[in-house]
Amino acid sequence: MAGGSSDHVVLFPYMSKGHTIPLLQFGRLLLRHGRSRDKPITVTVFTTPKNEPFVSKSLSDTPDANIISLPFPENIPGIPPGVESTDKLPSMSLFVPFTRATKLLQPFFEHSLLNLPRVSFIVSDGFLWWISDSASKFDIPRLAFYGMNCYSGAVSISVRLNELFSQPQPVEPVAVPDFPWIRVRKSDLDPVFTDPSPSGPLFELVMEQIKSTSTSQGVITNTFYELEPVFVDYRQRMGGPKAWCVGPFCLSEPPMKPDNDHTGDKPAWIRWLDRSLEEGRPVLYVAFGTQAEISDDQFKEIALGLEHSEVNFLWVTRRDMGEVEEGLEERVRGMVVREWVDQREILRHDSVRGFLSHCGWNSALETICAAVPVIAWPMMAEQPLNAKMLVEELKIGVRVETEDGSVKGFVGREELSKKVKELMEGEKGRMAREKVKEYAEMAKKSMEEGSGSSWKNLDLLLHELCGCS
């Protein structure tokens, strides 16, 4: 590999926007650090052709970021032609074959490494387990990124080590041995952590990812120490690769430009939020990410619950509501958006007073940094633990309860309406709003140049892997 005068970091995000966005934000953070020191940092991002436009647009104002597109494999059994990201999959049941197929990118990735300037280290998504082998071949340090907090990891590890669900358990929550104030249900965790004898394609893939991570030089963690000190310390005590808390990454992006004086240049939903603010109408932002699979019946019930709450809402969904939508916006002064939106811009709008969210970690951090309390409705993966953290640990919101107590259970309109009113109009909402303001300030301080805990952690990481100070 050719030499270079700057430190050079390679980023390889998993092909899912929820994984790609924070790693691109981390790239911005690296570039910002580079500008603050004598030796600059350059960043190369690997992606695939159909993901490249999104990556390019996200980094269009960062000339020190290079993008390399690798050909995504074709003719994958079960995967429709042209699908290169999980949000385009017909069902998340195809997650395993889709993820397995990424290994076919390995020879193209390694060929590209041969022609790059010297690489200081690689940060790749933990789902791309095979990159650890490539890094080893080229003697390049590799760090994994999973886009999770330390709370969910610590609770999952404690449950597994203590075999908390080794025997059939009732649906009632039980105390976590290492954190006795936390009570979890079996359905709150992935079966990998609760099944005494896990097996199958998903388990095999997860084990390969865990093994790959165990050989890495660390794990990049999108959180800040002050948010979850007990759980960060627990993760470090358990040994293994160090968790480097260097977030929130969303604060690495430049401040939003002032609103254009010409209102016609603003997106329609921002103009609607502006009018809501002028008229003194607090708004509930509603979004469940790109991966949530919601049944037709549940979808209708959400609409009816929002209508019954009589709260003004901005609902972002790519789904066609059909007859559900007819007259809905007029009846409740709501707005439905089916386009890709700048979620941070929405959350930071002064009219937005609450967020009905699936509790993906990116959304959780964005709502914390925007000082907006949450109505937690987890639907998959580690989201139930994220919801517990936000509601029970941080006390910055309320949680929607399903009818049968399970994560994937049905939520009735009465329950949803009740929790919406509780957050937007009740005492719990007021207290959550005050609490989240405190964490928003902590987040901002953690990223302050030279003095913030996350800034200092990244300094230490760069010193360890690049020898720079």
Same fold, 7-151+191-247+447-466 and 266-444: yes
Q: In this structure, which topology does domain 7-151+191-247+447-466 adopt according to CATH?
A: Rossmann fold (3.40.50)
The three-state DSSP-derived secondary structure of the chain is CECCCCEEEEEECCCCHHHHHHHHHHHHHHHHHHHCCCCCEEEEEEECCCCHHHHHHHCCCCCCEEEEECCCCCCCCCCCCCCCCHHHCCCHHHHHHHHHHHHHHHHHHHHHHHCCECCCEEEEECCCCCHHHHHHHCCCCEEEECCCCHHHHHHHHHHHHCCCCCCCCCCCCEEECCEEEEEECHHHCCHHHHCCCCCCHHHHHHHHHHHHHHCCCCEEECCCHHHCHHHHHHHHHCCCCCEEECCCHHHHCCCCCCCCCCHHHCCHHHHHHHHHHHCCCCEEEEECCCCCCCCHHHHHHHHHHHHHHCCEEEEECCCCCHHHCCCHHHHHCCEEECCCCCHHHHHCCCCEEEEEECCCHHHHHHHHHCCCCEEECCCCCCHHHHHHHHHHHCCCEEECCCCCCCCCCCCCHHHHHHHHHHHHHCHHHHHHHHHHHHHHHHHHHHCCCCCCHHHHHHHHHHHHHHCCC
Place of tokens 């076919």: 104
Q: Are strands 65-69 and 174-176 parallel, antiparallel or unpaired?
A: unpaired
Check pLDDT > 50 for residue 262.
no
Both structure tokens of 321: 């509501």
pLDDT for 255: 53
**Beta-carbon count within 10 A of 311 CB:** 25
Q: Which residue has the higher pLDDT, 407 or 139?
A: 139
Residue 337 gets the label, from left (phi > 0), alpha (psi -120 to 50) or beta, of: beta
Query: For the residues 234-259, what does the mean pLDDT come to?
Result: 82
pLDDT for 256: 52
Q: How confident is the model at residue 1 (pLDDT cuts 50, 70, 90)?
A: very low
Both structure tokens of 65: 């970021």
Check pLDDT > 50 for residue 469.
no
Q: Please give the radius of gyration of the chain, using alpha carbons only, rounded to the nearest integer.
A: 22
Check pLDDT > 60 for residue 233.
yes
Q: What percent of the chain has pLDDT over 90?
A: 67
Q: What percent of the chain has pLDDT over 70?
A: 92
The C-alpha atoms of residue 228 and residue 55 are separated, in whole angstroms, by 30
User: Tens of pLDDT along 424-436?
Assistant: 999 999 999 999 9
Check pLDDT > 50 for residue 203.
yes
The C-alpha atoms of residue 289 and residue 245 are separated, in whole angstroms, by 24
pLDDT for 231: 97
User: Tens of pLDDT along 264-313?
Assistant: 578 888 999 999 999 999 999 999 977 777 888 888 899 899 989 989 99
Instruction: Tell me the pTM.
Output: 0.91
Query: For the residues 341-348, what does the mean pLDDT come to?
Result: 91
Query: For the residues 412-419, what does the mean pLDDT come to?
Result: 94
Q: In this structure, which topology does domain 266-444 adopt according to CATH?
A: Rossmann fold (3.40.50)
Query: For the residues 218-245, what does the mean pLDDT come to?
Result: 94
Check pLDDT > 50 for residue 75.
yes
Query: Residue 335 pairs with which residues in a beta bridge?
Result: 314
The C-alpha atoms of residue 276 and residue 352 are separated, in whole angstroms, by 9
User: Tens of pLDDT along 131-163?
Assistant: 999 999 999 999 999 999 999 999 999 998 888
Going by C-beta distance under 8 Å and a sequence separation of 6 or more, which residues neighbour residue 21?
Answer: 58, 362
Based on the number of CB atoms within 10 Å of its own CB, is 20 exposed (0-12), middle (13-18) or buried (19 or more)? buried
| Region of poorest pLDDT, from 45-49, 85-89, 361-365, 397-401 | 85-89
What is the rounded average pLDDT for all residues in the chain? 89
The C-alpha atoms of residue 433 and residue 430 are separated, in whole angstroms, by 5
Name the nearest CA neighbour of 135 among 151, 119, 148.
119
Question: For the chain, how long is the longest CA-to-CA vector?
Answer: 64
Residue ranges covered by each domain of the chain = 7-151+191-247+447-466, 266-444
pLDDT for 2: 43
The C-alpha atoms of residue 122 and residue 133 are separated, in whole angstroms, by 12
Name the nearest CA neighbour of 127 among 12, 213, 209.
209
Q: How confident is the model at residue 258 (pLDDT cuts 50, 70, 90)?
A: very low
* CB of 408 closer than 8 Å to CB of 379: yes
| Region of poorest pLDDT, from 168-172, 232-236, 277-281, 427-431 | 168-172
